[in-house]
Structure 1
């Protein structure tokens, strides 16, 4: 009888750990992965970035290798806020982070900078600057 009890306790513990891991990983994925509505908003923001004067200045002086869309709902008071969407413009020198300037997203602005992987690594595809 004790062997059955130990086996059941071990199985319950494994089940609990597995469910906890799957729940946390699903939560983290949903925190940083855009859903369909997010993708529509990010697509419109990308168009706004491409038309933005700051972006055009960056593109004129540096090679733009990638434009990445992102959303971060982690550790925020209002996860549905438009201010948690960002467009990352990656060049060979750094990554420029564009986000909405207000709650209605009437405009976008370069709100930050970060490291660019292209400063030390080559692009994956054979990209060339368009003149």
Structure 2
């Protein structure tokens, strides 16, 4: 094989690998980033979380640092399910993950727990500084 053919083959292979990597990366970002419709749903869910008794119990016992919204379209069984939307309440002890209790999302409930970065790290914002 000629040297120029080998170089062109390597460039073609590298470009194909790069395009495939970028396509998969973009798909993953779109699968976990909320679009405008998702943001509206998550906004309403957040308001439901703030009025929920479970949240109020958590807020009375722990310091709430953040409320994060998320979406995951990797639900293979039913990608249009309301279970793809989550609202995480992040405290100094752990993260509480709220999801809809049914497909119509008539209410939200704390369905699972997760690690909180605030166990080992300080808040990012200077929350304790008073001017």
Regarding TM over 0.5, the answer is: yes
Structure 1 residues not aligned, in runs of 5+: none
- Asked if structure 2 preserves the Cα contact closer than 8 Å seen for 1:88 and 1:95, the reply is yes
1:118 aligns with 2:121: no
How do 1:47-66 and structure 2 match up within 5 A? 47-66=47-66
For residues 20-54 of structure 1, the C-alpha deviation after alignment (integer angstroms, 9 at most, x for no partner) is: 11011011111111111111100000000000010
Distance in structure 2 (CA, Å) of the matches to 1:5 and 1:90: 56
Distance in structure 2 (CA, Å) of the matches to 1:17 and 1:126: 44
Residue 40 of structure 1 is matched in structure 2 by 40
Q: What TM-score, normalized to structure 2?
A: 0.92
Distance in structure 2 (CA, Å) of the matches to 1:117 and 1:52: 24
- Asked if structure 2 preserves the Cα contact closer than 8 Å seen for 1:65 and 1:127, the reply is no
Provide the aligned C-alpha RMSD in A: 1.3
Distance in structure 2 (CA, Å) of the matches to 1:70 and 1:90: 13
Residue 21 of structure 1 is matched in structure 2 by 21
Distance in structure 1 (CA, Å) of the matches to 2:91 and 2:106: 25
Q: What TM-score, normalized to structure 1?
A: 0.92
Structure 2 residues not aligned, in runs of 5+: none
- Asked if structure 1 preserves the Cα contact closer than 8 Å seen for 2:86 and 2:99, the reply is yes
Residue 4 of structure 1 is matched in structure 2 by 4
Aligned length: 128
Tell me the CA shift for residue 100 of structure 1: 0.2
Tell me the CA shift for residue 91 of structure 1: 0.4
Tell me the CA shift for residue 4 of structure 1: 2.8
- Asked if structure 2 preserves the Cα contact closer than 8 Å seen for 1:92 and 1:119, the reply is yes
